[in-house]
């Protein structure tokens, strides 16, 4: 029906509202009708709810009505289909609400991690351009009107300042062009290429792996809550990780489970998670609390990913600020030294 998808926050709000009403004893068709009446007459969600209401009134299932709108992610539709068929729709809707809320938080955190350094980079480039085109030529014009050894020595300082600023500008312009190319590739759907490039950077590789494990464990937890068998839940959760580098290990995990290993033992043998997390899963499965422990593991992975992003921001921000101060400081020193020399000569 619609070519535009609902964003993560919209999906989270929809799932939470539906879960709350179903928990209160309201039927799905009545719940959709209530949401539709409160959503207004415009917008992607409003149109989708109107379509769902019509389909439910004509006898369609909740899953088919969702699927027909075209505004919900395939993952959400699959989860709800499994939850509806197993009688766990309420539980699945609550988990989906949390899953997409977490995805939104993580996306905003990563976007902020990219925006701040990019803004600092643009500021530094702007300062360098001003230095090269305005500040240095102004001082050079002053020294052109002077004669003698003091004026001659000043040109060396100005020349070195110009070389330093130009070199810094070229390097930072290349970095800015690379970042712009990454953004363009990401916007045009070539995310696999961008992720492959980022995984070559050690600090980014760790963040990407943690986030991929977070998405995988979140999907796995939701599939298990919907009543899927463990091996099928793992198989369906692999695409949710969105990581080409992690996929071979996840496929190996699935093969071990086909051979008869439990999910926790297979994950521990494959060293999918850190040893402490692997032991958590083993203990959780042996005690019959696998879903609870897996949910806790998902929360820990989210916290770890957020902490890694924050730490990267804490490193990159001061480094760029330091570059800016060094550039300005060296340039000012280079143009002030001749003036100091002239003052000493006069004094």
Rounded distance between C-alpha atoms, residue 129 and residue 124, angstroms: 9
CB–CB of 80/89 below 8 Å? Answer: yes
Given this model, what pLDDT does residue 9 score? 86
Rounded distance between C-alpha atoms, residue 216 and residue 214, angstroms: 5
Q: Which residue has the higher pLDDT, 5 or 282?
A: 282
**Token duo for residue 97:** 């609400």
pLDDT tens-digit series, residues 203-246: 778 888 888 888 888 778 877 877 778 888 888 888 878 778 88
* Cβ neighbours of 87 (radius 10 Å): 10
For the chain, domain boundaries: 8-72, 101-347
CB–CB of 39/45 below 8 Å? Answer: yes
Rounded distance between C-alpha atoms, residue 191 and residue 108, angstroms: 17
Residue entry with tokens 């027909």: 68
**Token duo for residue 171:** 């390097």
CATH architecture under which domain 101-347 falls: Up-down Bundle (1.20)
CA dihedral of 246, 250, 253, 259, whole degrees rounded to 10 = -130
Minimal CA–CA distance to 164: which of 341, 339, 338, 328?
Answer: 328
Q: What is the 3-state secondary structure (H, E, C) of the chain?
A: CCCCCCCHHHHHHHHHHHHHHHHCCCCHHHHHHHHHHHCCCCCHHHHHHHHHHHHHHCCCCHHHHHHHHCCCCHHHHHHHHHHHHHCCHHHHHHHHHHHHHHHHHHHHHHHHHHHHHHHHHHHHHHHHHHHHHHHHHHHHHHHHCCCCHHHHHHHHHHHHHHHHHHHHHHHHHHHHHHHHHHHHHHHCCCHHHHHHHHCCCHHHHHHHHHHHHHHHHHHHHHHHHCCCCHHHHHHHHHHHHCCCCCHHHHHHHHHHHHCCCCHHHHHHHCCCCCHHHHHHHHHHHHCCCHHHHHHHHHHHHHHHHHHHHHHHHHHHHHHHHHHHHHHHHHHHHHHHHHHHHHHHHHC
Given this model, what pLDDT does residue 3 score? 58
Q: Please, what is the angle between helix 136-144 and helix 290-346, to 10°?
A: 10
pLDDT at 251 over 50: yes
Lowest mean pLDDT among 91-105, 148-162, 320-334: 148-162
pLDDT at 337 over 80: no
pLDDT at 115 over 50: yes
Rounded distance between C-alpha atoms, residue 265 and residue 256, angstroms: 9
**Token duo for residue 35:** 């949401």
**Token duo for residue 93:** 């809707």
Rounded distance between C-alpha atoms, residue 10 and residue 44, angstroms: 10
pLDDT tens-digit series, residues 5-54: 788 888 888 888 888 988 888 888 888 888 888 766 567 888 888 888 88
CB–CB of 206/165 below 8 Å? Answer: no
What is the share, in percent, of the chain residues with pLDDT greater than 70?
Answer: 88
Rounded distance between C-alpha atoms, residue 107 and residue 102, angstroms: 9
Residue entry with tokens 């619609």: 2
pLDDT at 158 over 60: yes
Once rounded to an integer, what is the mean pLDDT over residues 295-311? 81
Given this model, what pLDDT does residue 150 score? 47
């Amino acid at each position: 029906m619609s070519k535009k998808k609902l964003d993560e926050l919209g999906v989270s709000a929809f799932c939470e509202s539906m879960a709350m009403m179903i928990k209160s004893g309201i039927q799905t068709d009545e719940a959709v009708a209530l949401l539709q009446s409160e959503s207004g007459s415009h917008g992607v969600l409003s149109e989708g709810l109107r379509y769902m209401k019509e389909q439910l009134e004509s006898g369609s299932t909740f899953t088919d009505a969702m699927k027909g709108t075209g505004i919900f992610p395939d993952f959400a539709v699959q989860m709800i289909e499994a939850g509806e068929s197993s009688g766990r729709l309420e539980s699945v809707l609550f988990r989906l609400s949390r899953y997409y809320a977490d995805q939104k938080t993580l996306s905003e955190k990563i976007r902020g991690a990219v925006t701040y350094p990019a803004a600092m980079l643009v500021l530094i480039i702007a300062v360098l351009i001003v230095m090269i085109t305005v500040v240095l030529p102004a001082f050079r014009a002053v020294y052109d009107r002077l004669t003698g050894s003091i004026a001659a020595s000043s040109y060396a300082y100005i020349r070195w300042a110009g070389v330093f600023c130009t070199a810094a500008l070229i390097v930072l312009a290349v970095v800015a062009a690379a970042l712009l190319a990454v953004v363009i590739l990401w916007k045009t759907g070539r995310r696999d290429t961008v992720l492959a490039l980022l995984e070559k950077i050690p600090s980014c590789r760790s963040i990407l792996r943690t986030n991929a494990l977070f998405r995988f464990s979140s999907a796995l937890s939701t599939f298990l809550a919907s009543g899927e068998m463990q091996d099928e839940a793992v198989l369906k959760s692999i695409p949710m990780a969105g990581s080409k580098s992690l996929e071979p290990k996840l496929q190996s995990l699935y093969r071990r489970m086909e051979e008869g290993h439990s999910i926790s033992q297979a994950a521990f043998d494959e060293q999918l998670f850190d040893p402490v997390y692997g032991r958590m899963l083993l203990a959780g499965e042996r005690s019959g609390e696998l879903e609870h422990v897996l949910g806790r593991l998902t929360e820990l992975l989210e916290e770890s990913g957020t902490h890694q992003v924050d730490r990267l921001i804490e490193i990159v921000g001061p480094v760029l600020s330091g570059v800016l101060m060094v550039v300005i400081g060296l340039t000012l020193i280079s143009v002030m030294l001749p003036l100091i020399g002239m003052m000493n000569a006069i004094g």
